[in-house]
Amino acid sequence: MFCVVTGFSPGFGMATAADTLGSQAYGRDSKSPLVGIVLQQSVLILMLLAVPVGIVWWFAEPIFLLMRQDPEVAALGGLYCRVLILGLPAIYIFEALKKYTQVQGTASACRGRATSGEPSSHTDCFTHENGLGRGAGLTHVAMLALAVGAAVLALGSYLFIYAFGFGFVGAPIALVVCYWSLVAFTLAYIKLRGLHRNTWYGWSRAALHGWGIYLRLGLPGMLMLMYVAMEEARTG
């Protein structure tokens, strides 16, 4: 739960800014380079966020001791967090890629309804084009990636914990491999399906601008998810 509160929740919450910015950009123009720029902003901002999160995770053991945890538990928890730092960039990049595909799927379906003059509900946005069309397909990229990741995690856990004899430390190693497999699968899917052709025009200096808007949208999401995670930790 420590990693969820201090690492995953801040990153996932900050990435919610891409929902608004990406959807607006794609809704205005399905070939807008702004969609790719929002992805670049997400990656850059989340990588910067990963620095303080990584520092907190590196010093997790003394933090656990300050929380009056058993020294042995604190040592194992600290080791777990330090190894998991290697997967932190991956889970943040995956979240950014997930937003990139989702905004295209949702916005394309909604645009289709709007331009045809048909009323559109929230559900319609995901069922445009013969029920399970492009809108729904793009939102399922993350589901496919998570299915692959689950298989990688199961295999990795067996290999690193038992087959290779790493024991306890094998668990976070398996998670690191799982997180990077999510990134690899999502990138491969985007490339093979050509989902990037209309919205990715290469890295741009434009991604270095407009961070103020991104942060104003992302910070409330980050604080909200952190609060929810802390409440779950407190009551759980």
Name the percent of the chain lying above pLDDT 90. Answer: 77
Q: Give the tokens for residue 127.
A: 């069922």
The radius of gyration computed from the CA coordinates of the chain, to the nearest angstrom, equals 20
C-alpha distance across the termini of the chain, in Å = 10
Q: Give the tokens for residue 44.
A: 């850059």
Domain range for 174 is 2-235
Q: What's the pLDDT at 30?
A: 87
* Average pLDDT estimate for 26-45: 94
Report the chain's mean pLDDT, rounded to a whole number.
Answer: 87
Least confident of 79-83, 88-92, 114-118: 114-118
pLDDT at 86 over 50: yes
pLDDT at 123 over 70: no
pLDDT at 18 over 80: yes
Three-state DSSP at 1 gives: coil
pLDDT at 116 over 70: no
C-alpha angle with apex 220: 64 to 114, nearest 5 degrees? Answer: 135
Give the integer Cα–Cα distance in Å for 70 and 67: 9
pLDDT at 139 over 80: no
Per-residue confidence at 236, pLDDT binned at 50, 70, 90?
A: low
Give the integer Cα–Cα distance in Å for 187 and 102: 14
Domain count, the chain: 1
Per-residue confidence at 104, pLDDT binned at 50, 70, 90?
A: confident
Give the integer Cα–Cα distance in Å for 12 and 93: 10
pLDDT, tens digit, for every residue of 176-229?
A: 999 999 999 999 999 999 989 999 999 999 999 999 999 999 999 999 999 999
Q: Give the tokens for residue 5.
A: 């509160």
| Cα of 130 vs its chain's centroid, Å | 29
Three-state DSSP at 98 gives: helix
Least confident of 24-33, 102-111, 130-139, 161-170: 130-139
Give the integer Cα–Cα distance in Å for 195 and 144: 15
Q: What's the pLDDT at 233?
A: 86
- The upper half-sphere exposure of residue 215, i.e. CA atoms within 13 Å in the direction of its Cβ, equals 9
Q: What's the pLDDT at 141?
A: 87
